[in-house]
């Protein structure tokens, strides 16, 4: 689809001065979005077809990191994934002025609104603070994120979906509650590949595999946002586990 080319200098000013703070784009998302803009709207096209491996090489990122950034940008309204096939993704890329707001997230309890206004939820470290670690465990409802096995408090750990060594973070989008066995076996393996290994080992069914892969997508898109509960609630959840 043809489209008039925007003014590159003005576009970059809007990107840095308006869009980045408005959507809370991190460095990876900025790199991916800028690359998409360059090869779509600045080339006179609204849509762009690309494969994640080729895209990742062009921006010098890992496949998983690139995939997460694309999903996050889609969740924030910076682009729309029109189609996805084995040949790659077809995305419609929006200009900063076309992005009115990020999609609404899960409602936050009124009693927590004041706390969340004082800090950026997306920038919170969910590994270093014990109460935040507990919210990740509560989100998974006592089940291993990968194999779905139920466990007790002593048999659970937090796992980085994208290992720190590969650019992962302590964001709620990158931490899951899982059993010790899965945490040990996964290591630095990509989460999608590890899930397929569990399927080959018959630890999960084909339906569970598809559901877990969809859960990974939802996690990366920020749709599995934990609820920051008051300390008393966290303590009660710990006792119930």
Concatenating the DSSP letter of every residue in 68-108 gives HHHHHHHHTTSEEEEEEETTEEEEEEPPGGG---PPP-PPP
Encode pLDDT of 45-86 as tens digits.
Answer: 989 899 989 999 998 888 888 888 888 888 778 888 888 777
> Structure tokens of 236?
């009660």
Do residue 119 and residue 225 come from a single domain?
yes
Do residue 72 and residue 120 come from a single domain?
no
Do residue 222 and residue 121 come from a single domain?
yes
What is the number of alpha carbons within 13 Å of residue 121 lying toward its C-beta? 18
Predicted TM-score (pTM) of this structure = 0.49
More confident residue, 227 or 95: 95
| Amino acid 120: pLDDT | 65
Q: What rounded mean pLDDT belongs to the chain? A: 81
Do residue 116 and residue 161 come from a single domain?
yes
Q: Residue 217 is part of which domain span?
A: 110-240
Domain count, the chain: 2
Do residue 193 and residue 132 come from a single domain?
yes
| Amino acid 16: pLDDT | 83
C-alpha 195, offset from chain centre:
17
| Amino acid 124: pLDDT | 85
CATH number for 16: 1.10.10.10
Q: Is residue 2 part of a domain?
A: no
Do residue 148 and residue 75 come from a single domain?
no
Do residue 135 and residue 24 come from a single domain?
no
């Amino acid at each position: 689809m043809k489209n008039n080319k925007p003014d590159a200098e003005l576009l970059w000013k809007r990107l840095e001065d308006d869009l980045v703070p408005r959507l809370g784009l991190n460095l990876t998302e900025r790199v991916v979005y800028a690359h998409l803009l360059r090869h779509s709207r600045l080339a006179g096209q609204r849509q762009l077809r690309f494969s994640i491996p080729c895209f990742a090489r062009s921006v010098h990122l890992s496949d998983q990191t690139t995939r997460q950034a694309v999903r996050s940008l889609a969740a924030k309204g910076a682009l729309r994934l029109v189609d996805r096939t084995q040949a790659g993704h077809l995305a419609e890329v929006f200009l900063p002025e076309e992005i009115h707001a990020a999609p609404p997230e899960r409602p936050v309890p009124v009693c927590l609104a004041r706390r969340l206004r004082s800090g950026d939820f997306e920038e919170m470290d969910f590994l270093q603070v014990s109460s935040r670690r507990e919210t990740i465990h509560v989100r998974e409802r006592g089940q291993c994120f990968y194999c779905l096995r139920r466990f007790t408090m002593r048999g659970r750990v937090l796992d980085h979906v994208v290992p720190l060594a590969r650019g992962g973070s302590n964001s709620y989008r990158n931490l899951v509650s899982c059993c010790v066995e899965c945490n040990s076996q996964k290591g630095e393996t990509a989460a999608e590949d590890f899930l397929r290994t569990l399927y080959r080992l018959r630890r999960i069914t084909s339906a569970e595999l598809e559901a877990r892969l969809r859960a990974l997508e939802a996690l990366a898109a920020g749709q599995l946002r934990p609820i920051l509960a008051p300390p008393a609630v966290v303590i009660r959840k710990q006792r119930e586990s």
